[in-house]
Amino acid sequence: MPQAEDRCATPSPATVPGRACGSCTLCCRLPDIDLFDKPANAWCRHCIAGKGCSIYEERPSVCRDFLCLWMTDATLGAAWDPSRSHMMIYRQGPQITVLVDPDHADIWRLEPYHAQLQAWADQGASTGGYVIVFQQDDVFKI
């Protein structure tokens, strides 16, 4: 599973106007966060599920700098809102990483998600890009 530190190596792009994390806390659950000794798919000890971070004002840069793809890509519609899609997606160089909520493990195989993930993989293939999906303990490269 990718480390949170890897995801935040570069500054986050601007948030799409009108989008906010709201009650979504998938970034507090799905990735490994070494700084907090937090394994993948376990809640961060600072997260209040459905509400957010209990140390929000003092949260470290690894958390402060991260925005998922839905927050930064205006082309993604409402279906991609992580609280609806049950996936946290981000770009990392030529790779698009998809972390799937274990409570909805197969959702990435359903439409409209699977077709878009395949399209991203096809678009990136000529330049070495790909999509990687983390579904519980399984990893899939598209």
Identify the pLDDT of residue 13: 57
Q: What is the pTM of this model?
A: 0.86
Residue 18 within any structural domain of the chain: no
H-state helical runs in 20-76? 61-64, 69-72
* Distances, alpha carbon 42 to alpha carbons 27, 31, 49, 114, in Å: 10, 8, 11, 25
Asked if 133 and 110 touch (Cβ cutoff 8 Å), the reply is: no
Is 81 inside any structural domain? Answer: yes
Distances from the Cα of 99 to the Cα of 17, 27, 71, 103, angstroms? 24, 9, 15, 12
Contacting residues for 39 by C-beta, under 8 A, at least 6 apart:
1, 32
The answer to whether residue 97 is domain-embedded is: yes
Name the 3-class secondary structure at 86. coil
82: domain range?
4-11+23-141
Residue 99: inside a domain: yes
Amino acid found at 16 = V
> Is 61 within the bounds of a domain?
yes
pLDDT band, residue 97 (cuts 50/70/90):
very high
Domain count, the chain: 1
Q: Which residues pair with 92 in a beta bridge?
A: 95
121 within a domain of the structure (yes/no): yes
Percent of the chain with pLDDT over 90: 76
117 is written with which tokens? 């993930």
Whether the pLDDT of residue 51 is over 90: the answer is no
16 part of a folded domain:
no
Lowest-confidence region among 56-60, 78-82, 106-110: 56-60
